[in-house]
A and B are shown apart, each in its own frame.
Chain A
Amino acid sequence: MAYKIVEANCTGCGACEFECPNQAISEKGGLFIIDAAKCTECEGAFDSAQCAAVCPVDDTCIPV
């Protein structure tokens, strides 16, 4: 299980990259993507998915 970023919604602000406990998020061409292999949905680290909690655009960081 992992999260993904809806490309069309991403503003490229990078807030999610900074919060991810697993360095699963990186910049690509001004927008951000999640490496599904590294994403743990924040299980065991935090109560909620950090990328979704910080993202300024609703429904942009969502479970795959």
Chain B
Amino acid sequence: MASRVVSLASIVRPKDLAKRRAEPAACGGGMDPATWDKVKDHPCYSEEAHHFYARMHVAVAPACNIQCNYCNRKYDCSNESRPGVVSEKLDPEQALRKVMAVAAKVPQLSVLGVAGPGDALANPHKTFRTFDLVARALPHIKLCLSTNGLALPDHVAAIRDHGVDHVTVTINAVDPEVAERIYPWIFHDHRRWTGREAARILLDRQMEGVAALVASGVLVKVNSVMIPGVNDDHLIEVNAAVKSAGAFLHNVMPLISDPAHGTRFGLDGQPGPSPAELSALQERLEGGAKLMRHCRQCRADAVGMLGEDRNEEFTLDRLDGEAAYHPEAREAYVAFVEREMEDRRMAERTARQALPAGAETMLVAVATKGGGRINQHFGHAREFQIFEVDGAGCRPLGERRAENYCQGGFGEDERLEAVLAALDGVSAVLVARIGDCPRRRLAEAGIAVLDDFAYEYIEPSVMACFARMIAQRQGYDTLMASA
């Protein structure tokens, strides 16, 4: 789908960037310097870098060793965009060809992950063989993998020896009573285990693996799927446990549940959380391991910047011969990013200084295709980035997904309803453009739409928008008082 592809040019500002005095590097928000150094360029972990660097996943790991109630292993559909769902299986040699082709076209590429579609460590030979091939061809690429943790204790040494510096472990519970409602069975030590016993083995292996990784200096992120009524409150305990085990980030994702996916939860009518429920939980976890608020649930075969997926450009049948990889393009891009980051820090500081004092807080939504700018048409937005802004600054609250309502002639009303639901509680939306009809509908719902920040940096614009709306309201109040 062409509309999902972001060209490099679209995120480069048209005018020249003036030389700026060097700003102190953005700090890692309380992270220790060694950790910050490892994640500052990582598109999945650094809020600043995710605008500029790209990651890709290769689907070399189809087998799995556990069954989750939110996963249906038979499901395979290229229209799907849930984790663990991919359409093309690759062997390690094919994966290398694909990585080379992407690196040749996408100078932003800095991370390669193995995340499935099964479990990276239930397919250890394919996963590590892929890492060997890619590390030899493209040594600058960071390697990461995702796992349910069951096989993790067996592979900690291999992970360290292959130079993998980021591992994501999905931990949905620390209490077997909760876990047995999520995992019907596991395959471990040559047999199938069920019920409480299965849950206990899995949880013990997860925590053992996390501790061993941390002890070997490997960064560990923990993902949790929020399942209302099953583990939602329990995730507070999970957060405390993974934080004390040494995980540097804890990312809570919403359960995506639909009977059509054929998952146990989908068929049983187990609902996912609403955007407000997810935000409320993330708020309560804020004191624990740092949370990653900009995480999109990318597919196991995702290619591109976070929030976009260019996989369709790089399917096997489109890869012809050896792709020529040009290190110069990458170096030029890295230099561009340095300047851009410096420039946006400056813009942020200026905007922060202009914030009005007071206790007012506001939610602002942004439509973006990446690059840290407001560069998407309202009608093309499949998700909105939500920011909370007050007199002290603005903080990302993560994405809210909405059905892309602009997909041609029919049913626009329902899709707009979905967008309105996703924008619940939001005061203003910043977009590159918007049609008259949706603008009117949003205004009726009490949501202001601003397109005069088009192509500007996101965070400074959110703060400027807040300052403007507060000033307008104060002007109105003064007028009413004097009338």
**Is B187 part of the contact surface with A, judged by Cβ < 8 Å?**
yes
A14 neighbours in B (Cβ, 8 Å):
62-63, 123
By the criterion CB–CB under 8 Å, are B64 and A15 in contact? yes
CB-nearest residue of chain A to B66: A56
Docked complex: A45-64 residues within 8 A CB-CB of B: 46-48, 50, 53-54, 56-57
List residues of chain B with CB within 8 A of the CB of A19.
187, 190
How many A-B contacts at CB < 8 Å in the complex?
50
Partner among A15, A46, A47, A57 whose Cβ is within 8 Å of the Cβ of B63: A15
In the assembled complex, the Cα of A54 lies from the Cα of B190 at a distance in Å of 9
Residue of B63, B118, B122 ringed by the most chain A CB atoms within 10 A: B63
Q: Which of A1-35 contact B (CB under 8 A)?
A: 9, 11-15, 18-19, 30
**In this assembly, does B15 line the interface, its C-beta being within 8 Å of a C-beta of chain A?**
no
Q: Establish whether residues B62 and A53, one from each chain, have CB atoms under 8 Å apart when the complex forms.
A: no
Q: Are A50 and B190 in contact (CB under 8 A)?
A: yes
User: How far is A9 from B65 in the complex, measured between Cα atoms in Å?
Assistant: 18
* Interface: B181 (CB within 8 A): no
Q: Establish whether residues A46 and B191, one from each chain, have CB atoms under 8 Å apart when the complex forms.
A: yes
- Whole-angstrom CA separation of A47 from B73 in the bound complex: 25
Question: 1/0 per residue B36-72: CB within 8 Å of A?
Answer: 0000000000000000000000000011110100000
Output the least CB separation between A37 and chain B (Å).
23
- Given A13-B118, A15-B118, answer yes or no on A53-B63 (Cβ-Cβ < 8 Å): no
Contact size range, B: 10 to 19
A54 and B89 contact, CB distance less than 8 A: no
When each residue 171-194 of chain B gets 1 if its CB lies under 8 Å from chain A and 0 otherwise, what string results? 000000000000000010011100
Does B21 have its Cβ within 8 Å of any Cβ on chain A? no
Q: Which residues of A contact B118 (CB under 8 A)?
A: 13, 15
Say whether A57 contacts B73, CB under 8 Å.
yes
| Contact residues in B for A47 (Cβ distance below 8 Å) | 190-191
- Please state if A54 and B187 are interface contacts (CB–CB under 8 Å): yes
Determine whether B74 belongs to the interface, using a CB cutoff of 8 Å to chain A.
Answer: yes
Q: Which residues of A are found within 8 Å of B76, using beta-carbon distances?
A: 11
Which one of A9, A13, A50 lies within 8 Å of B64 (CB-CB)? A13
**B62 contacts A13, C-beta separation under 8 Å:** yes
Q: Which of B65, B74, B123 contacts A11 (CB 8 A)?
A: B74
> Given that A15-B122, A46-B190, A48-B192 are contacting pairs, would A54 and B65 also be in contact in the complex, using a CB cutoff of 8 Å?
yes
Would B63 and A13 count as touching, CB distance under 8 A?
yes
Given A14-B63, A15-B118: A53 and B73 within 8 A (CB)?
Answer: no
Give the 10 A-B residue pairs with the shortest CB-CB distance, closest first.
Answer: A15-B63, A56-B73, A53-B192, A13-B62, A54-B187, A13-B63, A46-B190, A14-B63, A11-B73, A11-B74
Give chain A's interface residues, CB within 8 Å of chain B.
9, 11-15, 18-19, 30, 46-48, 50, 53-54, 56-57
B residues sitting closer than 8 Å to A (CB atoms) are 62-65, 67, 73-74, 76, 89, 118, 122-123, 187, 190-192
Interface CB pairs A-B, < 8 A, 7:
A11-B74, A12-B62, A13-B64, A13-B73, A15-B62, A18-B122, A48-B191
